Amino acid sequence: MSIENFSVRGRLADTGEGITADELQLAARNHGMPLESLRYDVTPPGLHYVLVHYDIPATNAGEWLLNVDGCVEQPLTFGLTELRAMGRRTVRVTLECAGNGRATLQPRPISQPWLSEAVGTAEWTGVLLSDLLRLAGLRSDAVDVVFTGADHGVERGVEQDYQRGLSVEEAIDSGALVAWEMNGAPLPPQHGYPLRLVVPGWYGMASVKWLRSIEVIDHTFDGFQNAVAYRIRTDADDPGVAITRIEPRALLVPPGFPDFMSRHRFVAAGTVPLFGRAWSGWAPIERVEVSTDAGVNWHEAKLSAPSNEDDELAWRAFAYDWEATPGEHVLTVRAYDASGREQPIEAPWNRGGFTNNTAQRITVLVT
Ligand SMILES: Nc1nc2c(c(=O)[nH]1)N[C@H]1C(S)=C(S)[C@@H](COP(=O)(O)O)O[C@H]1N2
Ligand SMILES: [Mo]
């Protein structure tokens, strides 16, 4: 047996096949955000979701070096002290894993089995990537920018450092940040200590943690995470379409109280204030609708004001007062953004279980 033979292809669960021990192992390492934490504008420490492909690497801020090289006029190396001297900007960003929603798909792609909780919002502090690239000076042959983390592993038989590429345009126009703080404190180890990329509006895979190298190249990056892993395909042999920005989604804080095992909900009849958050990586949220009868009738929720211009893609709060009558009810919500994208009730299936923004359904027994 050699490395190239390990888990060479992504697999779909057989009909009726439950979560495997491999998936349980992933789910226990990579945790979601408990949905009751949607009540916070900024997700408190430890409640933000976490996704780590390999191991959290051993890192040290005092010795950390970030190289910026390749198709640049002046290759540069930064320690944390030099980076901090470049300026300091804080942006509120909602991150969501591209695999969020995967676990309820039929057939189910075998991978990190997220339900709908792979999301969080943090205030990231650092320097604009565009400032670093400007200082190094992009050459006219620059095409893509490759970001490399300090973590290392094997995926579908390919040994690799975690690496993602962005086009030069995306790297500059996205407002990406090279960040050393999360919510006003040094990055926690699992979120990329001491340095990470944060790409606002993009699914999480673009925001490379434990960032040690930024290389500008003169061709389209064809590394594993761009060319093989994060693509929408219906067939294993499709080249597929690259995953980029976050599709609109709304989530409710599940009302009332839960049953321990099934998490079925119970609420008392009367006015039940429903509350949640909605976001899209394409454009600000324009409208959220709530249904309390499994999608037969829809009501417009009240949206909060966006926090500030820099944070326009961060999630927005919404509220709706539900007059709950005794019996069983299915609550569901959907988001609409200013680009004209609307959240579907049922998102189309794809082989990796990516970008699935099927509307949330919460069954509630009103007593
Ligand atoms: N170096 C490195 N960066 C990474 C990853 C990784 O495994 N290694 N996972 C990516 C994925 S798939 C996601 S969804 C986000 C998760 O960021 P968080 O754990 O800070 O929420 O980090 C991204 N950056
Ligand atoms: Mo992810």
User: Residue whose CA is closest, atom 9 of ligand 1?
Assistant: 52
Dihedrals φ, ψ of 310, to 5°?
A: -60, -25
d(CA 219, ligand 2 centre) in Å: 25
Beta carbons within 10 angstroms of residue 45's beta carbon: 13
What is the band of 343 on the pLDDT scale with cuts at 50, 70, 90?
very high
34 and 102 in a single domain? The answer is: yes
For residue 122, is pLDDT > 80?
yes
Average pLDDT, stretch 290-300?
A: 98
pLDDT number for residue 262: 94
The verdict on 216 and 82 lying in the same domain is yes
Domain count, the chain: 2
Whether residues 208 and 255 fall in one domain:
no
Domain closes at, from 212, 242, 272: 242
Q: Report pLDDT for 4.
A: 84
pLDDT at 169: 98
Q: Are residues 253 and 226 in the same domain?
A: no
Residue 100 is encoded by which pair of tokens? Answer: 């969020």
Residue 331 Cβ < 6 Å to ligand 1: no
Please indicate, yes or no, whether residues 39 and 181 belong to a single structural domain of this protein.
yes
Q: Determine the atom of ligand 1 nearest the C-alpha atom of 95.
A: 21
308 confidence band (pLDDT: 50, 70, 90): confident
Residue-level pLDDT at 288: 98
**What value does the mean pLDDT of the chain take?**
97
96: CA distance to ligand 2 center in Å?
7
What domain range includes position 284?
249-366
CATH (domain of 272): 2.60.40.650
Q: Which atom of ligand 1 is nearest to the CA of 52?
A: 7
Q: What is the mean pLDDT of residues 80-104?
A: 97
**51 C-beta closer than 6 A to ligand 1:** yes
Q: Is residue 209 domain-shared with residue 352, that is, in the same domain?
A: no
Phi then psi for residue 21, to 5 deg, are -65, -35
Q: Tell me the average pLDDT across 239-244.
A: 97
* Whether residue 212 has pLDDT greater than 80: yes
Residue 227 sits in the same domain as residue 84: yes
Dihedrals phi, psi of 12, to nearest 5 degrees: -100, 140
Both 124 and 227 in one domain: the answer is yes
Could you tell me if the CB of 94 is within 6 A of ligand 1? no
Atom of ligand 1 at shortest distance to CA of 161?
1
CATH code: domain of residue 111: 3.90.420.10
pLDDT at 2 over 90: no
Q: What is the CA radius of gyration of the chain?
A: 21
Q: pLDDT exceeding 70 applies to what percent of the chain?
A: 100
Q: How far is the CA of 229 from the centre of ligand 1 (A)?
A: 13
The ligand placed nearest to the CA atom of residue 205 is 1
Is 50 close to ligand 1, i.e. is its CB under 6 Å away?
yes
| Contacts of residue 139, Cβ cutoff 8 Å, sequence gap at least 6 | 71, 72, 73, 216
Ligand 1 centroid, distance to 323 Cα (angstroms): 41
For residue 128, list its beta bridge partners: 177
Domain shared by 286 and 220, yes or no: no
Instruction: Determine the Cα–Cα distance for residues 334 and 349; give it in Å rounded to an integer.
Output: 18
* Cα-to-chain-centroid distance, residue 176: 14
Instruction: Sheet containing 158-167: give its strands across.
Output: 76-78, 66-70, 211-217, 144-155, 158-167
Stretch 119-135: mean pLDDT: 98
The residue from 242, 269, 295 where one domain ends is: 242
Both structure tokens of 304: 């909060």
208 lines ligand 1 (CB under 6 A): yes
pLDDT classification of 305: cutoffs 50, 70, 90: confident
Q: Over 80: is that where the pLDDT of 306 sits?
A: no
For residues 267 and 352, state if they share a domain: yes
Instruction: Please tell me if the CB atom of residue 49 comes closer than 6 angstroms to any atom of ligand 1.
Output: yes
Picking from 242, 258, 278, the residue at the C-terminal end of a domain is 242
How far is ligand 2, taken at its centre, from the CA of residue 98, in Å? 5
What is the atom index within ligand 1 of the atom nearest the CA of 191? 20
Identify whether 75 is preceded by a cis peptide bond (ω within 30 of 0).
no
Residues sharing a CB contact under 8 Å with residue 34, sequence separation 6 or more, in sequence order: 47, 117
Spacing, Cα 324 to ligand 2 middle (Å)? 37
Residue 344 identity (one-letter amino acid): P
Q: Which residue has the tokens 């996205």?
A: 174
Instruction: Decide if pLDDT at 222 tops 80.
Output: yes
Could you tell me if 164 and 51 lie in one domain?
yes
End-to-end alpha carbon distance in the chain: 58
Under DSSP, the state recorded for 23 is H
Query: Which of 196, 77, 76 has its CA nearest to residue 127?
Result: 196
Query: What pLDDT shows up at residue 86?
Result: 95
pLDDT at res. 266: 98
Pure H helices in 174-288: 224
Same domain, residue pair 165 and 119:
yes
The mean per-residue pLDDT over the stretch 161-177 comes to 98
